[in-house]
Structure 1
Amino acid sequence: MEPAGNKRKREGLPTTLNKPVAALAIVPLNRNLTVTARKAYNVMLHIAQNAGDTGDLGFSAPLNAILRGFGVGNNVATDAKRYIDQMTSTKIEWRPLTEGEQWQLPNDGRDPSLLEWRAGEEARDELRIFNMLAEVRLYKKAGENWVTWFYPPTIKEQMLGPHRWARLELEVIAQLGTYTAVALYEICARYRDNPAGVTSRHPWSWWVDVLKGSEAGKQREWRKFKNEFVNPAIREINEVSEIEIELLEYKQGRAIADVQFAVRKKAPQALPNKPQPPDVSQLLRAARLGIRESDAEALLERYGDAAMTHALDAMERHMSHHASKTIFNKSAYLKSILLGKTASFGETEAPPLENPPPSTRAAAPRLASAESDEWRARRLAEIQTEFEALSAQEQAQWVEKLRLDAVYRGGVSATVMRRLEAGAWRSPLVKAMVIRFYASARHGSDWAELPQGMASAAE
């Protein structure tokens, strides 16, 4: 009989990761977990499962097999540390999908607290909290960057020999662009063969916690989270994966109370046999330009790899041609390129995305840009006056909304956070930030755009 592994290779089927169901719904407790770190963690698990139990030696692989983009010239100590560090320092709460899918503890008699279970009593409502990895070693071997890692005991036990697992296609996960999409795919893949065709049903707050990748306790309103994260994730999963999913919502009165997902299998697809580690090339480029990893990761998730490549190319060209000009907020400047808008972060205008127009038409874009800038400044002044007319209590409520939003999205300095926590919205550090947040929430995301009639006249 042909070995199953050879048959999979001959047929070109994707490499499958058997991930324990207890590790599918996870909630970071002390810091954000990025989509890159979650993808890399799955690849490391796949490598560990293929290696089997190595005792106290840990598991080893070339760094490029876990995170693509680290060549020989990269400084492993500085470039890789930011990604591996998430796995060693992130404390995770692993939540069971159903009551019957708790962690299965070893019952070898060494732990007195387990004696009562040997009499047939089953553990109930168990909660385990630990870091994703216990230790990581980064080093060079034969000129190549390598990594050796160790799991906490409970994780190692379940990762290498799970009692129940979900079959995850690593090639599919490599194509998903957001943390929400990866987390939702992993959970829904667990139910691809479920006769009922649905996932477990939970309150919507449970789904927000396990799908957002940021610390627990910063709750998002379901309607906003669904529109901004869940719906795009569903579209992405249905496009690239072997399953199709559908959101099911249940109301209590007029409000959404519970949520679950319908799961259907597609016809078999031929996918590459080799699991693809997440590509961090663009994140490394952004870091070299002085952009924070969390900001670059968020922009990459939102705008995609192709747009990010184009924007980084434009930013590099601009910085090389205008070395004497300082960009004070590089993350915001990169975002302005991705949006295709003029920005004023120490520059007169954003770098062009395409070849400049002929000289005979050069004046019109400059006039339109000037008109747009003047309109934006006037609108900002009007909305600031409107905000100042609010009561002190209303102003404080808006500042608190901004603070919560900043905590959720990340990328805000500790100094700015202290100003927001103190409610000091008139501080020069946060004043414009508060007014723009209020403007977008009260008047819509297009509050600063030139009205259509005026825009046509300016052109």
Structure 2
Amino acid sequence: MSAAPSTDPSVSPLTLRKSVTTLAIAPQTEALTRTARMAYNLMIFIAQNMREDEDGGYTAPMSEIVKGYGGTTRDSGRVRGYIEQMCTTLVRWFPLSRSDEEQANTQVTIAGLPDPPESAECRVFSLLSEARFTRRGGEQWLTWYFPPTIRETVVHPVRWAQVDIQEMSQLSHYASVALFEICSRYKDVPGGLTNRAAPVFWVRALRGEPEERSKVREWRKFKNESLKPALAEINQKTSLNVELIEVLRGKTTVEVQFSVRRKPSVKVVAPIDLSLVELAESLGLRERQLDRLVEDYSEQKVRKALEAMVARNRSMPGSPIRLPYGYLQKALRNEALESPLLDEPAEETSAVRKPPRSRNQQEQERQDQWMADRRAQLNAALDNLSVDELESYAASARATLAEKGLLTPAMLRRFDQKQYRAPMIWEYIRTAYAEATFGPDWRAAPPAVESHQTE
């Protein structure tokens, strides 16, 4: 929290001064996505660093908004849809402390307008009052207007949290972004403790779903499916260490708060690369479909599958994939990434001859075949384990995934339901067994037997 501009040279040049009264919000009419919240934060940041237009609006190229959180100009169409939606999206503001509520009731923007209502709990606003899109020199520009009764609070806050946009752009889930914003307020506060509130407060503040359209999730389910992955991602990708603190009455959680502290040393990170989204869209996948695949199989595996799919399309231009989402699901589910993603083998013609394989290619093929045999051996061994033995390796795999920050809500559900054959889960179970049986170098193929034949 700050009350004056920072002169600390360590402060990132992309530091958003976000009003403390706008940190905890809950959409009322439309869902908010991670991308939409990031774009809105960039619009506030740009407005804070420019002079408003004569009519009270703010104007900038769309590319400045999109690239500000690590996107590319290809994302402009999707972000434009989110910005249009902001004009009709109502959000409720929740005060984090009594002093926040007092500020929300005293800071007024334009002379002559009525004061905000006495209770900040009743403050419901649209994110934007108007958005205009124009083209200048072949580039799309945006002029946007904040609602007049909150403009001063948003653009010229009296008290704010310093939110590092570059670090926030590393976060891939809405709950991670929302919690990171709130925790940014407390990172330099003595004691480093957030406000203490009932679990329902945190469920509302950290979800991007409208309150009226969905029931408030049970705290235990929300904690396991959304909060724990958000905490793991924040702790792994940002300069903050955030820990959950639960106040129990018997076995029931009655209040929740978070401990926030800076890490001893901070490594500057670059904005997230959104090329995965672009690649998926070029292959006919929707953003929500991509999110599901990443949640189920990890970003690395999905990227590898998409790149293999591009290679397949290039090699078979006359046979397009009609259902890309189903195709990728099947490929990922069957662990087809170790061989080219092809619907069927391409026909060889007598007019085309394969070039002779080099020694390096032959060696790579030998190692690939050895690894395939080793995996088959491990799978057979795992199939013969007792239930208790398999459970022990599953527990080891779960701990490893959690340590690496890869334990997504979907994987948690699968662990709880003992769906160990899911590709990523099975890979880590197999690795745990292999390391226990063959040691940490179980992937290393033995040297090839020297051949003295001349070619």
Q: Give the alignment of 1:229-308 within 5 angstroms.
A: 229-267=226-264, 269=266, 271=268, 280-300=274-294, 306-308=300-302
Report the Cα offset of residue 166 of structure 1. 0.8
Counterpart amino acid of residue 174 in structure 1: S
Aligned in 2, Cα 1:66/1:309: closer, same or farther, shift over 3 Å?
farther
Report the Cα offset of residue 334 of structure 1. 3.3
Any idea what the Cα deviations from partners look like across 1:181-202, whole Å, max 9, x if unmatched? 1111110111123233211111
Q: Give the alignment of 1:2-151 within 5 angstroms.
A: 8=9, 13-68=12-67, 69-71=71-73, 78-102=77-101, 103-104=104-105, 105-106=107-108, 110=112, 123-151=118-146
- The match for 2:328 is 334
With the length of structure 1 as denominator, give the TM-score of the two structures. Answer: 0.66
* Mapped pair 1:445 → 2:414: no
With the length of structure 2 as denominator, give the TM-score of the two structures. Answer: 0.66
The whole-number CA distance in structure 1 between the counterparts of 2:15 and 2:365 is 50
Report the Cα offset of residue 322 of structure 1. 6.7
Whether contact under 8 Å (1:91, 1:131) holds in the other structure is yes
Aligned in 2, Cα 1:350/1:338: closer, same or farther, shift over 3 Å?
farther
Report the Cα offset of residue 146 of structure 1. 2.3
Whether contact under 8 Å (2:90, 2:124) holds in the other structure is yes
Report the Cα offset of residue 281 of structure 1. 3.5
Aligned in 2, Cα 1:313/1:326: closer, same or farther, shift over 3 Å?
closer
Whether contact under 8 Å (1:53, 1:160) holds in the other structure is no
Classify the secondary structure of the residue corresponding to 2:192: coil
Report the Cα offset of residue 325 of structure 1. 5.8
Whether contact under 8 Å (2:94, 2:121) holds in the other structure is no
Counterpart amino acid of residue 251 in structure 2: R
Q: How many residues align?
A: 366
- The match for 1:427 is none
Report the Cα offset of residue 150 of structure 1. 1.5
Classify the secondary structure of the residue corresponding to 2:328: helix
The whole-number CA distance in structure 2 between the counterparts of 1:359 and 1:198 is 52
- The structure 2 residue matched to 1:205, chosen from 200, 205, 208, is 200
Whether contact under 8 Å (1:333, 1:350) holds in the other structure is no
Counterpart amino acid of residue 154 in structure 2: M
Whether contact under 8 Å (1:248, 1:259) holds in the other structure is yes
Q: Give the alignment of 1:181-220 within 5 angstroms.
A: 181-216=176-211, 217-220=214-217
Stretches of structure 1 that go unaligned for 5 or more consecutive residues are: 376-408, 410-438
Classify the secondary structure of the residue corresponding to 1:110: coil
The whole-number CA distance in structure 1 between the counterparts of 2:39 and 2:33 is 10
Any idea what the Cα deviations from partners look like across 1:142-169, whole Å, max 9, x if unmatched? 2333222221123312112213211111
Counterpart amino acid of residue 163 in structure 2: L
Counterpart amino acid of residue 100 in structure 1: S
Aligned in 2, Cα 1:42/1:305: closer, same or farther, shift over 3 Å?
farther
Whether contact under 8 Å (2:66, 2:75) holds in the other structure is no
The whole-number CA distance in structure 2 between the counterparts of 1:136 and 1:153 is 14
The whole-number CA distance in structure 1 between the counterparts of 2:93 and 2:284 is 35
Aligned in 2, Cα 1:85/1:316: closer, same or farther, shift over 3 Å?
farther
Report the Cα offset of residue 300 of structure 1. 4.8
Counterpart amino acid of residue 190 in structure 2: P
Report the Cα offset of residue 25 of structure 1. 0.7
The whole-number CA distance in structure 1 between the counterparts of 2:63 and 2:198 is 39
Classify the secondary structure of the residue corresponding to 2:140: strand
Counterpart amino acid of residue 420 in structure 2: D
Q: Give the alignment of 1:317-396 within 5 angstroms.
A: 317-320=311-314, 321=316, 323-324=318-319, 326-328=321-323, 330-337=324-331, 341=335
The whole-number CA distance in structure 1 between the counterparts of 2:169 and 2:227 is 18
Any idea what the Cα deviations from partners look like across 1:208-262, whole Å, max 9, x if unmatched? 2211222223322322322232222223222333332211011122122211001
- The match for 2:397 is none
* Mapped pair 1:173 → 2:168: yes
The whole-number CA distance in structure 1 between the counterparts of 2:326 and 2:201 is 32
Whether contact under 8 Å (2:19, 2:154) holds in the other structure is yes
The whole-number CA distance in structure 1 between the counterparts of 2:75 and 2:231 is 37
- RMSD after superposition: 4.4
The whole-number CA distance in structure 2 between the counterparts of 1:18 and 1:442 is 41
Whether contact under 8 Å (1:250, 1:257) holds in the other structure is yes
The whole-number CA distance in structure 2 between the counterparts of 1:340 and 1:91 is 43
The whole-number CA distance in structure 2 between the counterparts of 1:350 and 1:229 is 39
